[in-house]
Chains A and B, each alone.
Chain A
Amino acid sequence: MEIARKFKNTFSNVPMLGWLLGVLAAVLIEYYWGYDYISYYLGLPKIPVLFGTLIMLKDPMMIPGVIGYDLIVYVIPILLIAKASNFFTNPVAAILEKTPLWLSAIIHLIFFYGVLHLWAGINDYRVLVVKLTMISIILTISINVINGYQGEFSCSHPGFMAIGAYISSIITLYFFVNDKTFGAAVLSPDLGPWLFPFALIAGGIGASLGSLLVAVPSFRTRGDYLAIISLAFMFIIKSAIENLNVIGGARGMGGQPDYAPLPIIFIWTMLCIWVVHNFVTSIMGKALNAVRDDEAASESMTVKTRKTKMTAFMFGAFWAGIAGGLFAHVLAYINPGMFSINRLAEILAMVYFGGLNSIIGSIVGAVSINVLGEALRPLELFKWIIIPLILILVMIFRPYGLISFKEINAKKLLRAKHKREQGA
């Protein structure tokens, strides 16, 4: 405890910019010397992809080497640079503090993206993991709107995702690709990436219209019964797609063009976080919480409860649809089996692990379950024992998830952190 406190004290004056700079340094070290020198001298076969967990689990003999690698490449440079650079990162952060918040946030995000791009770019596998993690972030935030903020237990999220994935795939395949089911491209494929956002939004709108099938019953019923209705919705969508041979049926649909590179997904993820954050911190959005906590009181306080419930479902489903569309274009293949009970379990695990009623919780949940899932892959079957076990422990000690009922405070996050005056 004492060590943790000291550690916290030492680094309390490092602003966000300093941490980003530290990570940048770590990534540069890995980029230039990671393979040629560091992993070579430590006896590692190649650069550890996800901080070496995969190698460690496959070959326990490598554990010292991996720990050494993580220390040399990540821990020490990040801490050193973050601490050493604060003589100029703090003044820079103070200058940024004086600019409008949106400008400061965008500058930080661009910097963050640059570092992330560099880190992921070292290895194709990392790119895929980062892409899927970001899609999971969108999914988790969107289900948090329904299950957390609105407090309904909805199980239909894979269904919303499937609608978004299929609609956007059909649009891109029909218009921009010479496909065997949909024929020659209608528009020039060059237009594809520019019109792709519209395909995604169409998918999102489709999903939010579909969500009305769950939203309308929610006027009359709650809890377990709504959970069953939403579960039924998910299976209806799945079986409907399985039986529609026009779009591939159970065989699925492939050949989606690669319109979803890392920056595009990053932009969508940030857009999702921003819009959902705006919504849930406004009075309109807090009406979701009011309806969840006491519907009769909300009605008496002039809140339109039906409209609020419908908004929650449609808004959540919209983002699930967007996530589905991105997912389809990352994997370039979808089939109805992907949007079934397994996906549901994964999404629910992410949202309940991370924390209800909190965007930052959703991000933490999505990232940790995804990275954990990838990192424990070598354990095969045991992975499905360890992850649920962690989930159970979280539920016992923190029933609402790791970080619940907390909102992002961008201003506080990005501000300069000056050292407190000694003895003052």
Chain B
Amino acid sequence: MSALLNVNKMTHYFGGLRAVYNYNLNIKPHQITGLIGPNGAGKTTIFNLITGVYTPTEGSITLENKSIKGLETNEIAARGLGRTFQNLALWRHMNVLDHIKMAHYSQLSYGLIGSFFNTSKCREQESRVEENSYRLLELFDIKQHADQIVTNLPYGAQRRVEMARAMATNPKILFLDEPTAGMTPDELGQMIKIIRKVHQDFKVAIFLIEHRMKFVMELCQHIQTLVFGELIAEGPPEEIQNNPEVIEAYLGKEDLT
């Protein structure tokens, strides 16, 4: 099986600060990969580098064997790289349905003139998008909130809106930046279910950043550990769990005296 996303020897500097060094990633279709590491290790930076928010100083990034390095974020997203954010990044004046509709932006072709004069092409595409949006809302169990402004929803529902919105871009890989941040243990269980469901129903590969070990160990088939911008360990969950370097990075060195 060839790799869906391939990152090779990616290095990035913020001025003189080396944020990421020699980072490699290989995601196969339909695989869940986790990225763990202490605070400030550069996990979110890696997300931002791959999704095109920053352009890496060195290294290559290819999606389905085509280089996506240096492209704009929206182009990379349109090629099949959806994401959610660490702190919810919803559009606060917009209702839930519009959120999902908006994420279909790259799938519209009626253009500005079409939208000015409400041409039949525009109406046809918009109604198709609306249909698809309702389908997604139902799938994520937020259909009852469709007309509500997103800031009025409970936190768990907002998370689901974000997930549904990311799925509306029709991604091949879904990037989840701390999907359980600020959640109660109850909501955590729900989130695991949702991620499993997305993984199975949409046949996407998932790449996630997470702090909670239980969550990562349960979901991921492959885990990377990042410390100070460098990978220190990589492998299946059991291996990572018992890796002395990982334990050291998280818990500190064992005092043998």
Contact = CB atoms under 8 A, between A and B. Distances in A.
B89 A289 contact: no
A298 B165 CA distance: 11
B94 A286 contact: yes
A294 B158 CA distance: 15
B126 A282 contact: yes
Nearest to A297: B89
A289 B108 contact: no
A283 B53 contact: no
A284 interface: yes
Q: Which of B114, B116, B165 has the most CB of A within 10 A?
A: B116
A106 to B, nearest CB: 15
Interface string B71-115: 011100110001101000111111000100111111010111011
A289 B94 contact: yes
A302 B94 contact: no
B253 to A, nearest CB: 38
How big is chain B's contact interface, by range? Answer: 35 or more
Given A282-B126, A299-B77, A303-B74, A287 B102 contact: yes
Contacts of A294: 89-92
Given A275-B116, A311-B112, A301 B93 contact: no
B180 interface: no
Given A283-B126, A286-B101, A300-B51, A357 B116 contact: no
A287 B129 CA distance: 15
B132 to A, nearest CB: 12
A285 B106 contact: no
B22 interface: no
Given A296-B89, A297-B91, A286 B102 contact: yes
A377 B73 CA distance: 54
Interface in A298-320: 298-305, 311
Contacts of A293: 90-94
Nearest to A405: B93
Given A283-B105, A287-B105, A293-B94, A278 B74 contact: no
Contacts of B110: 284
Contacts of A301: 77, 102-103, 105, 165-166, 168-169
A292 B92 CA distance: 10
A23 interface: no
Contacts of B14: none
A293 B149 CA distance: 13
B115 A279 contact: yes
A282 B78 contact: no
A19 to B, nearest CB: 27
Interface string A392-424: 000000000000010000000000000000000
A290 interface: yes
Nearest to B111: A284
Contact of A284 (B83, B103, B108, B165): B108
B77 A300 contact: yes
B201 to A, nearest CB: 20
Given A286-B101, A357-B93, A299 B116 contact: no
Contacts of B77: 299-302
A297 B74 contact: no
Nearest to A308: B105
A302 B105 contact: yes
How big is chain A's contact interface, by range? Answer: 20 to 34
Q: Which of B102, B110, B112, B118 has the most CB of A within 10 A?
A: B102
A292 B94 CA distance: 11
Contacts of A292: 93
Contacts of B166: 300-301
Contact of B116 (A279, A290, A305): A279
Contacts of A278: 115-118
Contacts of B126: 282-283
B32 interface: no
A302 B92 CA distance: 18
B122 interface: yes
Contacts of B129: 283
A283 B93 contact: no
Q: Which of A279, A302, A405 has the most CB of B within 10 A?
A: A302
Contact of A290 (B102, B108, B169): B102
A11 B139 CA distance: 43
Nearest to B118: A278
Contacts of A290: 91, 94, 102
A274 to B, nearest CB: 8
A293 B103 CA distance: 14
Contacts of A283: 101-102, 104-105, 108, 115, 126, 129
Q: Which of A290, A298, A300, A405 has the most CB of B within 10 A?
A: A300
Interface of B: 51, 53, 72-74, 77-78, 82-83, 85, 89-94, 98, 101-106, 108, 110-112, 114-118, 122, 126, 129, 165-166, 168-169
10 contacts: A279-B116, A286-B94, A297-B89, A297-B91, A299-B73, A299-B77, A300-B83, A302-B77, A304-B74, A304-B105
